[in-house]
Structure 1
């Protein structure tokens, strides 16, 4: 029934949007091309998500592209509809007026005007080209974002300490090995003291990481690389033949991370030491508000950590920081999160605008925030999920330098 409603919605939307094309040109091959394209996009989506649903649970690149092209077509069509609908109301009103107030005129609906369809298609071309660009180029348009944070209680030995954070790899979505190798090399070029990965290594299954295991094994930092789990790493979003199979999948992912050289922190902590001084690194399992998995245990993760230690917390979902971390008795100097992806869509012009629809869901959704003398960085994500692209919110490699605040 859901498929029937969706197909009906898509066909009606496509037919209505097609009226602008038909108004603008009478060339038949353009009309036929539009119709064939809309049907091919619909057929591809149905094939990938209906007919292959039992054969594969993975969000493969083919499925991502099927969804991406469908999304592009629907969003572009929706941009056309308000113009056509507004014109249709005018045409209907004019026809009624002529019928009852015209001098003997019959009810006649005016023809569509070309300039309205031209404007509608011109507006629709903006999301159409943007979303296609996001799939072609944007998803691998890696950016290195650098921040310097000052703390008055940072141990002297860690003045100038550099952290590289990556998050949300979503390896099951990748389709270009050379681009990923370039990004891994870019991480290593930062020559940071430590690499911290804040969750969502896969979309659902551990096997998604197998083709990329050797590539991510090349990540290196002087003090090692550490990781935590994200909500997608638990395999909660697909069906399993048994609870044992699901548990085995998670164990395989944990083993894979170890084989790649990551120290996976499962509600645990480590000390990073330098010149006789140390800072605490705490990693919690996923904790998310709004129906997301709450496996994180901050108290357990910080067990053995002293209250006056300088603390860095790795927690995948920034809602954890908002709901638990900020008000905790322990002062967590810096929290590193990801999860939001910046919705993979938005507008960012440094110093002028920073906007994405995801801001309506997450208060802290991208970049550095400060509350009660504590910082969080929400990484925009290394990979992508579902829509195989990024528009305006580019894949991110974060480099954070810790600095000792000079006393006045």
Structure 2
């Protein structure tokens, strides 16, 4: 049977249908069960560079040998199962071209009057440009992900560098603060040692006078007083440095009322507040309960009050400090400490939580109060902290902590990242 006869038998001439078939923007073909082309439109012939007449009656293996095995497998599957096969991507090269093309194909059985499969309809849409765009997008995505990974690595390096820099500042601050009382103690001890040696020699000669004894006693008393004061100062600094690390094992957790604990802290500071002409107001929502660490919590409140006393009201200025404690959702509690003092500039706000940053070093401040607060809130209580302040408008420190504190991190593990509200 000639190809023209086969075509005529399978596709009776219907001008409208033939026009649609021939002018469709996608490739269309009709294959016999043994994979011969019974119908094909001009669009699909562009795949192999053979005319419509060159396809009709010929097998797929004759026309597109590179795709024959795949096509025969699909047709065989449809003949056996009766199910269409859709979304199959086909790759190949057009004759005379070196570029690879891609088509997405759809295969549907053609059934005769008695329901048996008499052929397979094929539709092929070229998606070469789409696939090229997808590759370019994937390449751009991979490049972006690689750049992001490099950025994260650089960020991690910067974080580690900042940690080392902060450690360096901490060590320098410790050395600077401890050096003064310890150095003074060494000087006093050396002077006392020389005086003791001279006094012992005078006693050995047997010529000790009352005036010499009185002088020696006075020197010993003065030296002892200086040593006690400076060593007490050194002990106080060392204790403060221990708090900077928020030692994970020195306090126990329990249930407590944050409002009641805050009132206890406020009561212990009332005398000092009155002496400085300051009023302290505590407002707490009733029936709040925390399962957390009362010691660190009290330390936070104490440090915030003392920080306001020292820095917010300079030159004996009077004012007030307000503490508000209330529920923040179901799981958190908010503590807000505000004052109507002198406030902070933008530069001071940026550095407020840094270790050893203070504007009152000449008055004995070492700049650890707010740093200790930040450390306790984030690392011990598992919370967040935010400072809001403007010059001459006072300062407000807002802390949000969970009602149930997280378990302390394993000291052998990496420290958790700090965060702010």
**Greater helix content:** 2
The interval holding the TM-score normalised by the smaller chain is under 0.3
- Structure scoring higher RCO (CA < 8 A, sep ≥ 6) equals 1
Normalization by structure 2: what TM-score?
0.24
* TM-score with structure 1 setting the length: 0.24
